[in-house]
Amino acid sequence: MGTNRTALITDASHPAAAAIAARLESEGITVINNYPRRSNKSVIAEVGDDYAFDTWSLADMKRLLDMIISNRGDVNYLIHTDNVILRARLEDITEQDFKRALDYNAKSAFITTKVFGEHMAQKGDGTIIYLSTLHDEKPTGCAFAYSTAKGAVKMLCKEIALFYGRKGVRANVIEADYMEEQRESLDSLISPFNYDAETKIPLRRLVKAQDIADVVSFLISKDAAFINGADIRLDGGHVLYYGDR
């Protein structure tokens, strides 16, 4: 598979994005990399398929879709990778930071789905993958607005699996554990869950970018043609470790 197929990675700055892109490109899929949260909202590379549009802006995403269609044709896979861990306590976070965390993580999923999901539904074919976190179920103890947003994304996926599923577009969530690059962002003073994780994870290591790329590759393949609305936990069994104190 992969002939004339195109995937959009919504936030190519995710630590797993490069591995995902390499894996998809090795399968013959054209990968469009987007870099949100940058001031220059235009093509950021002379050669290639890199863009810098804000994923939580409907106007930006419509413009991105138009540019991709113009340059490359249809989008077949939406891979939502926006994953901004904003460390803050509920007790004293500002209104602005709360909204920012929700926009970066949840609104970006909603807006990209609204634009690219509808685009794929009109073709009657496509796959949406939300690269999320196990913190859509397990609280972080350090980034409440982040997990609140990811809880919303989990339900977005289920609603979309119904709504766009009827139009030939599948949607699934990957609930990944944290990668080495995200370790400090999820360090909590009130929850020891992520502390010394390698000794708690039965498989004795953190998730790697390649693990995530493998699941993404599987979910867009024909082998996963009947998987829709699923939450695929990718944590080596980490959440099974209960009662850490």
**Where do contacts with other proteins occur on this chain (CB under 8 A)?**
58, 89-91, 93, 95, 98-99, 102, 106-107, 110-111, 113-114, 117-118, 135-141, 144, 147-156, 158-163, 166, 190-191, 229
Nearer to other proteins, 154 or 233 (CB): 154
H or E element: which one contains 223?
Answer: none
Nearer to other proteins, 91 or 196 (CB): 91
As given in the structure block, the two tokens for residue 160 are 């979309």
Separation of alpha carbons 142 and 150, rounded Å: 14
> What's the distance, CA 97 to chain centroid?
20
- Is residue 144 within 8 Å of residue 89, measured between CB atoms? yes
Nearer to other proteins, 2 or 168 (CB): 168
Separation of alpha carbons 230 and 89, rounded Å: 30
C-beta of 232: minimal distance to other proteins in Å? Answer: 17
C-beta of 122: minimal distance to other proteins in Å? Answer: 11
C-beta of 125: minimal distance to other proteins in Å? Answer: 17
Amino acid at 207: V
Nearer to other proteins, 72 or 138 (CB): 138
Separation of alpha carbons 104 and 88, rounded Å: 15
> What's the distance, CA 56 to chain centroid?
13
C-beta of 156: minimal distance to other proteins in Å? Answer: 5
Nearer to other proteins, 17 or 178 (CB): 178
C-beta of 163: minimal distance to other proteins in Å? Answer: 6
Q: How far is CA 61 from CA 19, 80, 118, in A?
A: 24, 13, 12
Selection from 132, 242, 234, 141 nearest residue 187 by Cα: 141
Nearer to other proteins, 33 or 194 (CB): 194
Could you tell me how many helices (H) and strands (E) the chain has, helices first? 8, 7
C-beta of 228: minimal distance to other proteins in Å? Answer: 12
C-beta of 189: minimal distance to other proteins in Å? Answer: 10
Nearer to other proteins, 69 or 155 (CB): 155
As given in the structure block, the two tokens for residue 44 are 């950021």
Separation of alpha carbons 21 and 19, rounded Å: 5
